[in-house]
Amino acid sequence: MSQRKEMVFVVDDDARVREAINELLESLGWQSETFAAAADYVAYAKPDLPACLILDVELPDINGLEFQKQLSDDVHPPIVFITGHGDIPSSVRAIQGGAVDFLTKPVGENDLVAAVRAAIDRDRIQRSARAELSELARRLAALTPREREVLPLVVSGLLNKQAAAELGISEITLEIHRSKIMHKMRAESLADLVRIAEKLRIPITHSRRSGSLQECPTRSP
């Protein structure tokens, strides 16, 4: 079987478990790296591939759930927990922390494979979203300071004359800035530009209402 361009990391202090999981994964074409401790996993130079982290709850250097919490501050592969001492509170905590699954040893092969596939699929989606966001941020950085001032006013739904008045520029100048923004952000329509702004979390500070500028947070009930 040809090797997949996907990676599975296994962190478990039981050598027999690591060996068994590694053999299963490699038999299915996955690249696999195993570690006896969380610190070893952290120190490993990870390839830029869709991945999954199979993580034991009880490790010699740190509790797996605490390790999950530490990883939450960084970009990391989706986690599949395995444990010989499972309980409901631990499983709830793991899933609430973003884990794909919480499996009890001895782990069934079908359950493990299904969890790994789900984790890698999730990682692929997350990686794609991060790449898209990075590209949008690159386009945003290409805007001039004035265009960055115009952008939130445009996506707020203001008329050109309202946005121009807000900035103290002519309507024609505002329209030129707007056209350049659409081009640089590669937006095909205003609706497309609004979606891009939402992904970049550009604040919408004004709304169009009765020809005046108003802040969204002060809307009356």
The per-residue pLDDT for range 99-123, each reduced to its tens digit, is: 999 999 999 999 999 999 999 999 9
What are the pLDDT digits (tens) for 175-202? 999 999 999 999 999 999 999 999 999 9
Mean pLDDT across 171-176: 97
> Which residue, among 67, 102, 71, 73, has the nearest Cα to 88 in the 3D structure?
102
Q: Is the peptide bond before 47 cis (omega within 30 degrees of 0)?
A: no
Alpha helices in the chain (DSSP H): 15-27, 38-43, 64-71, 88-96, 109-141, 145-155, 160-167, 171-184, 190-199
Confidence of residue 12 (pLDDT cuts 50, 70, 90): very high
Which pLDDT score, from 0 to 100, does residue 206 have? Answer: 67
Q: Where is pLDDT greater, at 96 or 209? A: 96
DSSP 8-state code for residue 217: G
Q: Which domains does the chain have, with CATH numbers?
A: 7-132 (3.40.50.2300), 142-215 (1.10.10.10)
Three-state secondary-structure class, residue 29: coil
Q: Please name the helix (run of DSSP H) or strand (run of DSSP E) that holds residue 208, with its range, or none.
A: strand 207-209
Confidence of residue 204 (pLDDT cuts 50, 70, 90): confident
Cα dihedral 109→111→114→120 (10° resolution): -90
Mean pLDDT across 57-79: 94
Three-state secondary-structure class, residue 131: helix
**Worst-scoring range by mean pLDDT, 78-87, 112-121, 124-133?**
78-87
Neighbours of 2 (CB within 10 A): 5
Which pLDDT score, from 0 to 100, does residue 214 have? Answer: 42
pLDDT at 212 over 80: no
The model's pTM is 0.79
Neighbours of 69 (CB within 10 A): 13
Residues in CB range of 56: below 8 A, 6 or more apart: 11, 12, 13, 14, 17, 64, 81, 82, 83
Neighbours of 137 (CB within 10 A): 11
